Amino acid sequence: MHYELCIMHYNTFVFDLDGTLLDTLQDLANSVNYALQQHGMPQHSIDDIRRFVGNGVRLLMERAVPDGAANAEFEECFADFRQHYMMHSLDTTRPYDGITEVLHELKARGCQLAVVSNKMMAATQELIRHFFPEIEVAIGEHEAEGIRKKPAPDTVFEALRQLNTDPSKLNTDPSAVYVGDSDVDLLTARNSGLPCISVLWGFRDREFLLQHGATTLINRPEELLEF
């Protein structure tokens, strides 16, 4: 029955990364606080970092650095963060319980899998290669001119293109679904014309997601197999 649901309903799953597939919060916090410490700036708690993430690493650092991008040391601090994170992105990061098994099952059913993230492209692709080799397409912060980060639909459309799925046909052939954990993901799905499954094991809670328009929420990764 699950096989028929997957093939007849959604056969393409586009995932967010941080807070959806991977618990990256501690490594992000460590790199943020390392960079802040290098510049004599106050550090942040893990709960602070949880609130800051979701809109890409530059905005993460703008929220973490006093006075944000207006701080005279911001660019150097941001560069220190990027360098540290590229070296330490695998220190404590792990898939959420059950994610690996669900991805294997979706793949076995013939589903296409992609990741789109506002994380740096190199870090996104390194993490996918390390943890989820079954995912065909992984797109992070894109350096190509004209491709905007989430919540713009550009990276989703690029992922679908690489999966040989025509985004213009999604309204008449709703075979793809977006899976994420945040308000940014809800907007990204909406802007892409995709339905959104919001997960409750990530960086945002049920009340927050409902306030931002979530309509389909799941508590455990294995619930994805019902779609």
Two structure tokens written together for 44: 């942040």
Residue 124 host element (H or E): helix 121-131
Residue of 16, 23, 154, 185 with catalytic role: 16
Active-site residue, 16 included: yes
Separation between Cα atoms, residue 129 and residue 120, nearest integer Å: 14
Query: What dihedral angle (degrees, nearest 10) is formed by the CA atoms of 194, 199, 202, 206?
Result: 110
Closest to 14 in 3D by CA, of 180, 220, 216, 153: 180
Find out whether 148 and 154 touch, Cβ atoms under 8 Å. Answer: yes
Encoded amino acid at 174, one letter: P
Q: What is the DSSP letter of 18?
A: B
Catalytic residue numbers, as ranges: 16
